[in-house]
Structure 1
Amino acid sequence: MKLFLKGCLILFIVSTAGCAAKTPTLETGPDAQVTKEGLVKIDNSVLDLSFAKPNVDWGQYTKLYFKAATVTNDHPADYKPPRIDRRADGLNATYDLPTEALNKMSTEFGVIVASVFNEDQPFELVDKAGPNTLVIEVAVTDIRLSAPVESSRRSYSSMGKTYTQNSGSMMLLAVVKDGPSGEVLAKAADRGEGFDQWQLNTQVFNWGDVKTVYRRWVNDFKNALMMAGAE
């Protein structure tokens, strides 16, 4: 197999738009970045960072097992939280989402997966790993809001409103494994952002933005799988 991934690229790594630009390729030569699992960095990926294993027969996979998405308030070690105006927002203001919001974000990811991979698609969604199955593990983390959580702000009790130009961003991390063996086949990381417009800042983006970011990620994954399997 040539050192470019079949179609345009595989597994959460390219969308159709990426094909119209530079062709995504696996790095080569002595300076190529390779992970401990033997995954090679992909240049010209539409995602912020992505790696994949060379010489994989993607056409063998007809079933997909999406594990429940893990959603946390975790941040990188060098993250500096935004300053909170205690006089304006109150002593309880926070940028950390409550547990119920994190759980809702996890559930919503599963809803989007089911709507994208519906009965019209050539893949079967399953609830366990098995033959001809890709296992997809997704984590949503480093959630950055443009204002403290609405219900934590002093203005919330007096029905005050906070408008920001962008509602926030979040990082999605994905690991794709072979079902029978558990071998890691691909990894990706991408930051999704809300729309760049002035809007009421609620708990995270707002739910319309969350669904849009999720749907883009999942559709990119579906399109790349279909292109890779057709080769």
Structure 2
Amino acid sequence: MNNAITAMALLLGLTVVTACTNTEPARLQQGVDAETTKDGLVKVDHSKLDLSYARPNVDWQKYTKLYFTPVKVTNDHPADYKPPRIDRRAEGLNATYDLPPEALEKMSAQFQTTVKDVFNSEQPFELVDKAGANTLVIEAAVTDIRLSAPIESSRRSYNSMGRTYTESSGSMMLLAVIKDGETGEVLAKAADRGQGFQQWRQNTQVFNWGDVKTVYRRWVNDFKNALMEAGAK
């Protein structure tokens, strides 16, 4: 899983911020100029995600079950990432942009909660807890988390009247690999950067957490809609 995620991150790049207003249906590129990965996946045009690739001639209609493996959330960044400068005099010696382990665990748990909310009993898919026949295995990771201000509790102003206002709560990258539950064959890969609302507000954990939930719901809804669209063809 880690090797696949790392390879995909290097392959797809991590620089695009989603602003998807395209309404054209997603479709695989065709012809000799189609962009194809080393493992035979073809680029999807008009995807709701920043970048996505899928295997041609997959019978998506046969997949009625979904197994989401536990999502790994990390403070990792690509090799060329340059962290924001921290004003130690103003923010203090302990100010950091890295989320603590308990926050990463909470984000992982929230992703699974969002999946259950979106793929509820009204949807044509059954959530299962293991791979098997007619099952899509979704391996996802959330990484390259970029906050627009140091963690609230790490700042010198945390226990004072100080306040920090930012235009957004930052962004994070979703990397996903979709496999056949019986054979383990990779059927699709995707990468997408989700960003919080673009408006000035006090930078607090409450606002950041609200944006995390919003981005998660968009990601999972886009995935659900893509599955339903693929199965209808």
Tell me the TM-score range normalised by the shorter chain.
Answer: 0.7 to 0.9
Aligned to 2:17: none
Give, in whole Å, the separation in 2 of the partners of 1:205 and 1:110.
20
1:105 aligns with 2:101: no
Counterparts of residues 21-40 of structure 1 (less than 5 Å): 21=24, 23-40=25-42
Aligned to 1:75: 77
How many residues are treated as equivalent by the alignment?
214
Pairwise CA distance, 1:85: 0.4
Q: Which residue of 2 aligns with 1:155?
A: 157
Check if 1:121 corresponds to 2:123: yes
* Aligned counterparts of 2:39 and 2:130: Cα–Cα separation in 1: 23
Give the Å deviation of 1:221. 1.0
Structure 2 gaps, min length 5: 1-19
CA distance in 1, matches of 2:123, 2:155: 44
Equivalent AA in structure 1 for residue 229 of structure 2: M
Greater displacement, 102-111 / 28-37: 28-37
Q: Distance in 1 between matches of 2:52 and 2:184?
A: 19
Structure 2 partner of 1:202 = 204
* Local SS of the residue matching 2:83: coil
Q: Is the 8 A contact 2:71 2:141 kept in 1?
A: yes
Contact 2:149–2:203 at 8 Å: present in 1 too?
yes
Specify the alignment match of 2:173 in structure 1.
Answer: 171
Q: Is the 8 A contact 1:97 1:203 kept in 2?
A: no
Shift of 1:164: 0.5
The one of 74, 81, 90 aligned to 2:92: 90
The structural deviation recorded for 1:159 is 4.3
Q: How far apart in 1 are the matches of 2:171 and 2:21?
A: 22
Residue 192 (structure 1) aligns with:
194
The one-character-per-residue Cα deviations of 1:11-62 (angstroms, maximum 9, x if unpaired) are: xxxxx974x33x4332334443222221011222222111000000000000
Tell me: CA distance 1:190–1:66, structure 2 relative to 1, closer, same or farther (3 Å). same
Q: Indicate the residue corresponding to 1:221 in structure 2.
A: 223
CA contact (8 A) 1:168 1:204 kept: no
Single out whichever of 149-158 and 50-59 deviates more from structure 2. 149-158
Aligned to 2:216, what secondary structure does the other structure show?
A: helix
Distance 1:215 1:149 in 2: 23
The structure with higher relative contact order (CA 8 Å, sep 6+) is 1
Matching residue within 49, 59, 67 for 1:47: 49
Poorly superposed stretches of 4+, deviation over 4 Å: none
**What is the deviation of 1:229?**
1.8
% of aligned pairs identical?
75
Q: Is the 8 A contact 1:167 1:204 kept in 2?
A: no
After TM superposition, list the pairs within 5 Å mapping 1:123-138 onto structure 2: 123-138=125-140
Normalised to the residue count of structure 2, the TM-score between the two structures is: 0.87
Which shifted more, 135-144 or 154-163?
A: 154-163
- How far does residue 204 in structure 1 lie from its aligned partner after superposition? 8.5
- The one-letter code sitting in structure 2 at the alignment partner of 1:90 is G
Measure the CA separation in 2 of the matches of 1:217 and 1:97.
21
- Given that 2:48 and 2:222 are in contact with CA atoms closer than 8 Å, whether structure 1 keeps it comes out as no
Point out where structure 1 has 5 or more consecutive residues left out of the alignment: 1-15
The aligned amino acid for 2:131 is A
**Root mean square deviation of aligned Cα:** 1.7
Which shifted more, 170-179 or 44-53?
A: 44-53
| Counterpart Cα distance in 1 of 2:180 and 2:227 | 14
Q: How many Å separate the matches in 1 of 2:184 and 2:45?
A: 25
